[in-house]
Amino acid sequence: MKANQHILIIGGGTAGIMTAAQLIKKNKNLSISILEPSEKHYYQPAFTLVGAGTYDYKKTIRLTKDLIPKGVKWIKDFATEILAEEKQVKTATSGNISYDLLVVATGLVNDLDGIGIEGLREGLEKGVVCSNYVDPNKTWELLQKFKGGNAVFTQPTTPIKCGGAPQKAAYMAADYFRKKGISNKTNLVFATPGSVIFGVKIIADSLMKVIGDYNIHFKTFYAPIKIDSDNKIVYFKEVSTGENKCVVNENNILNEKHTGNEIMEIPFDFLHLAPPQAPPKFIRESNLVNAAGWLDVHINSLQHNKFTSIFGLGDVAGLPTAKTGAAIRKQVPVVVDNILKYLANQTVDNQGYLGYSSCPLVVGYGKMILAEFNYKNEFTPDPKLKQMLVFDSNKPHWRLWFLKKYMLPHLYWNKMMKGENV
């Protein structure tokens, strides 16, 4: 390995810090910098629980300076452009930073203006609409104020971090309304642009039972396109074809309307959604992305498909699997191994990432399903976890809730963020 080779990591989130921590554990003499503007780091998996009033938001926050691994330099600045041919990254205030190897771990951003939901920003700013992705405390506030009517939960057509989170919010709300004694005055709606509740059949079967138990109106092929905050109406575009066409019955309990041009209107008294999400602008406008606008990396090695000195992982990567912290947990060791091989002029041959991701699906207070799967949408429960739990994780169980609320945050802060494989 050549001396003084510089590894630059863009992003001080889960993927960036885990990669730096594992690299420095392997070789304390490596020259590693993390380019990250934020002073705070958030444990976002707990936002669903914050939005349901069962987790302290303050406990999701740590200072970035306390998480940067010892021996790694923190450059507190924004990346503005990647010059891959020159092996440089432009920054907002620190000039151009040169690298020998670049790790792109920027995550994604909420797009409240640019991708197709008219009135979204206005609705959020007025406090008429809520989102655990934006402000989970606001979700909890509006849940407590809700007295009955239409409670609508939806998600965009774009990929989003933790794709199961919008339906988790619906299940937690349904259980909260039940405990509050207003279920008989509430019409719960979960509307999705997709065709199924979950892509893994064994998990979908369990979730459909949950939906039936809560009497949720489950609407497929519904893509949200507009929010009228003043009149409290959410508009959906039908994205089905042929025999899957959506049908709206007259005098329906939701007062839903089909207004022509395949547009559905649903009045709401409570509206929660995941906003459209995308890579940061400087990534989208670079020559590093695929046709869909995501970082173009090999799906198994996570090396860039065009520029061999670049690796990418986490939510920004164009991978056909769910964007979760659990996915990052499996991606990082592969990236680290390949980086060390690249720096040593060895063949970058670790193709060990097979698309593993995991979605802890809380389905009520004290109940959770753990969906684990790969690129093939096969249910792939962790053998160690299954041995410890001694039951099937594809069905709701209180022990899984304990895992979500207590064990996973502990593992995140004390193991993952410190470079340990878990």
Catalytic positions, written as ranges:
162, 359
- Element of type H or E holding 137: helix 136-145
Q: Which amino acid is at 300?
A: N
Cα gap 412→422, rounded to integer Å: 9
Cα gap 47→57, rounded to integer Å: 7
Sign, CA dihedral 336-341-342-347, equals negative
CB atoms closer than 10 angstroms to residue 61:
11
Helix axes 165-180, 201-214, angle to 10 degrees: 30
Q: In the numeric block, which tokens belong to residue 343?
A: 């720096």
* Torsion region of 95: left, alpha or beta (phi above 0 gives left; psi -120 to 50 gives alpha): left
Cα gap 390→212, rounded to integer Å: 27
Cα gap 190→164, rounded to integer Å: 12
- Element of type H or E holding 339: helix 325-343
Q: Which amino acid is at 209?
A: K
| CA-based nearest residue to 314, from 297, 331, 299 | 331
Q: Detail the DSSP E strand segments found in 60-178.
A: 61-63, 73-75, 79-83, 88-91, 96-98, 101-104, 109-110, 149-154
Q: CA triplet 291, 296, 298: central angle to 5 degrees? A: 130
Cα gap 176→49, rounded to integer Å: 12
Cα gap 65→72, rounded to integer Å: 11
Torsion of CA 148, 150, 151, 153, to 10 degrees: 180
